[in-house]
Amino acid sequence: MIQVEAKLNQRNIYLTTNVYLRPDHWNKDTSEVVNHPQSVELNAMLFEYVIYLQGIELSFWKRGIQPTLALLRDAVQKKSPVNITFTEFARKSIVSADKSESTKENLMSTVRLLDKFRSGLTFEDLSYTFLKDFEAWLKELGKNQNTIGKHLRQLRTLTNEAINDGYMPADAYPFRKFKIKTQKVQKPFLTPDELGKLEKLHLDDSRQQHILDAFLFCCYTGLRFSDYRTLTASNIVPINRRKWLCLKMQKTNLEIKLPLELLFEGKALDIINKYDSIEQMAAIPINADTNKILAGIAEKTKIKKHFTFHTARHKCATLLVHQGVAITTVQKLLGHTSVKTTEIYSEVLSSTIVKDLSAVRKKKNVNNFSNKMEQ
């Protein structure tokens, strides 16, 4: 097998050419194929491969990156083109990434916008000024501030990948002084009374009833839409003679374990028992169609709030907090990596405030009574 030796600072690596020869067909002095019926073609192939390697090295220099043997080997293994645009790199990076399909599609939506804004975007184009111009262009398209922030965060993710893979020098990082702006939006949530209306609702339309059951199930478990649709019988596991829902979440890859009999008096189990199988219960339409059906259900209950399937996960958090469950426990039940994320979902209801203050006053009265008894 013919290999190319690359040397740098008294270190070397060997890169395979995928050309296999007998020893007598290789001339060590001239480094070429000899006495072979296809020697001309093979020598041309080897010459082109060396030119390809030199082109990779030159592309590093052009982008202001100090070439290393590790960068060269990585570029060869990934079959990276010598001259590649940022958007081409981004697409290849997204396709090969170990991420969920929904995350990949979100990243791709940003790449498509980049293509529309500036076709053939290069690594050198990425600068503070470019970010400001891209942000202004997104505003002109009518995107709201949080959508703009989402695309800029995704662009930041792809930029970090480019730096990590050696396509950009770290000192060219355009987000160093660029602040991504977001607008705080009050997330829609259902009050206990509104949830009660949904629980009492019985629909003649079997499809609507199925979606309502799915929504309520997620109110009682805090599951995301994507995780709900993947449920199977294997996710229901007996632990200490109780039924637990155990699964690995698609978004974070974290494992969660939910004691179904202890959560909200086992209401999730009641919904499971309505169906022939877990798989049948979990078979609901895509998110967009499901949310349309939910809108129709909301009209029938006269709930004048726009809520989506994700509101169920939000509702689970607010109910748990309302019941006095510690925020760290809610964090584990929802599968959040940070308690700060959980706090976003746990708006304090007015009834929770009254409940907490009443508990403090009751405790104070008990302490005063005890003190008087001691006197």
- Is there a single domain that holds both residue 230 and residue 313? yes
The two structure tokens encoding residue 251? 């978004």
CATH of the domain at 108: 1.10.150.130
User: In a 3-state reduction of DSSP, which class is residue 7?
Assistant: strand
pLDDT digits over 250-281, tens only?
Answer: 887 888 899 999 889 999 999 999 999 999 99
- Is there a single domain that holds both residue 30 and residue 156? no
Question: Does the pLDDT value for residue 348 go beyond 70?
Answer: no
What whole-number distance in Å separates Cα of residue 184 and Cα of residue 189?
A: 15
Question: Number of structural domains, the chain?
Answer: 3
Sign of CA dihedral 278, 284, 290, 293: negative
- Is there a single domain that holds both residue 131 and residue 39? no
Choose one of 22, 42, 77: the last residue of a domain.
Answer: 77
Question: Does the pLDDT value for residue 326 go beyond 80?
Answer: no
Domain for residue 187, yes or no?
Answer: no
- Is there a single domain that holds both residue 20 and residue 167? no
Tokens 């019941």 — which residue? 323
Instruction: Decide which of 372 and 165 is more confident.
Output: 165
Choose one of 34, 58, 77: the last residue of a domain.
Answer: 77
pLDDT digits over 231-251, tens only?
Answer: 999 999 999 889 999 999 888
Domain for residue 161, yes or no?
Answer: yes
- Is there a single domain that holds both residue 277 and residue 343? yes
- Is there a single domain that holds both residue 115 and residue 73? no
- Is there a single domain that holds both residue 42 and residue 135? no
Domain for residue 220, yes or no?
Answer: yes
- pLDDT at site 188: 64
Domain for residue 257, yes or no?
Answer: yes
- Is there a single domain that holds both residue 156 and residue 279? no
Give residue 254's Cα distance to chain centre.
12
pLDDT digits over 161-182, tens only?
Answer: 999 888 888 888 999 999 999 8
Are 163 and 155 contacting, i.e. CB atoms less than 8 angstroms apart?
no
pLDDT digits over 275-306, tens only?
Answer: 999 999 999 999 889 999 999 998 888 887 77
Choose one of 124, 144, 172: the last residue of a domain.
Answer: 172
- Is there a single domain that holds both residue 329 and residue 216? yes
- pLDDT at site 375: 55
Which residues span the domain enclosing 350? 192-354
Domain for residue 372, yes or no?
Answer: no
Domain for residue 15, yes or no?
Answer: yes
Question: Does the pLDDT value for residue 71 go beyond 80?
Answer: no
- pLDDT at site 357: 56
Percentage of the residues of the chain whose pLDDT score is greater than 70: 88
